[in-house]
Each structure stands twice: as C-alpha cells, then as structure tokens.
Amino acid sequence: MGTDKRLLPWRETRLLERSIQLCRDSGLSYRIALSCREDDDLIAQRFEPNCIRIKESDLGLGHTLAHAIGSLPRSWSGVIVHLADMPLVQVSTFQTIAHELQKHPIVIPSYQQQWGNPRGFSQSLWPELALLRGDQGAKDLIKKHSDLCHVLDLTDAGVLVDIDTQKDYQTWQH
C-alpha cells in the first residue's frame, strides 16, 4: 500500500487500534505484537503491559509469530492469532474460537465455505509455532496438522475481510 496500513484512519480510530479494541471487547486476555521501531513506541506505551516488542519484525509474519509465542503466559491454554488488517471480525467470533479451542488444537473460522481469520492454536502447538520463519505465517503448520483442524462455520463475513490494498481500504472504510 506504500504506507503503514496499521496507522490508516478507521472510523473514529486507526486500523491497528480497531483490531486491538476487538480483542479487548472479547473479554479474553490478549497480547499485541509490535515492532521495536520508534513509531510503535506510543502504541506500546498505551497498551502496556499487553505488548510484546518484536525485533526484526520486518522478517515477516512467521518470524513475528514465533517470537510472540515465546512471550505468552504459560497459563494460557491457547492463542488466537488476529491480524491488525482485519477490522470487521465480530467480537463473538473471538469468543467462539476460544470456546472451540478448548476441544480442538487448531480452529479456523469459515464464512460460506471460505477459510478466514483469526485462527486459534492450542498450547500443544506453540513449540512448532515458535519455529516459524519468513512471511508464511502458520500455513505450513496447518497443512501438516490438517487432521487437527476444526473448521468453524460462522455467519461473520468479517473473517474474510483483509485490508491489503488501497482498493480494499476504500471498499470497506465507510
């Protein structure tokens, strides 16, 4: 997009803050993975102690996820990975994924038979998530453990809305 999309205006806030608000509104414990760049300092201060600062976050989503996983509380039984560019996910989706995560190692939301995000991973998979590298995220892990995946059919179209381009932003920002 040519700019840090996390900082784009989104209704009365910014895209990143909207995603954080969704996590907060779910009532679940949460953490925010942020770069160590100076431009993330203000966000980190605002949401401490829930921030995890990631060195070399520019190496990709897999790298960021791997380092964030290593900083999560061991008392958590799972994690829901929500991306900052998905502002239309419903709060109830987080709660439903968390509930299903008590029964299934991997939970993937689906809308009209299309897989979406955020995705849930039980703590049993954290060691493998901690090995991720590059910008692939957990795609290979999900393929490897397809037998552990629970696809959760939802009425939340927001699980498919990803703001990746200027056109996406213009379409959904209203």
pLDDT in tens, 2-42: 778 888 888 888 999 999 999 999 999 999 999 998 989 98
Angle between helix 15-25 and helix 91-101 axes, rounded to 10 deg: 50
| Calpha distance 47→42 (Å, rounded) | 9
For 78-105, how does the pLDDT look when each residue is reduced to its tens digit (9 = 90+)?
999 999 999 999 999 999 999 999 999 9
Q: Which long-range contacts (CB under 8 A, 24 or more apart) does 50-57 make?
A: 57/33
- The CA distance from 91 to 19, in Å, is 10
Q: How far is CA 23 from the centre of its chain?
A: 9
Q: In angstroms, rounded to a whole number, what is the distance separating the alpha carbons of residues 169 and 148?
A: 34
N- to C-terminal Cα separation, the chain: 18
Stretch 42-66: mean pLDDT, rounded?
A: 92
pLDDT in tens, 108-155: 999 999 999 999 999 999 999 999 998 888 999 999 999 999 999 999
> Alpha carbon 122 to chain centroid distance?
14
Tokens representing residue 75 in the block: 């008392």
CB 56, CB 125: distance < 8 Å: no
Instruction: Copy the structure tokens of residue 109.
Output: 């939301």
pLDDT score, position 162: 92
* pLDDT at residue 1, rounded to an integer: 65
Positive or negative torsion for Cα 158, 161, 166, 167: negative
Contact indicator for 163, 5 with CB cutoff of 8 Å:
yes
Q: Between these two residues, 5 and 52, which has the higher pLDDT value?
A: 52
CATH superfamily for 5-172 is Spore Coat Polysaccharide Biosynthesis Protein SpsA; Chain A (3.90.550.10)
pTM recorded for the entire structure: 0.93
Task: Specify the pLDDT at position 6.
Answer: 87
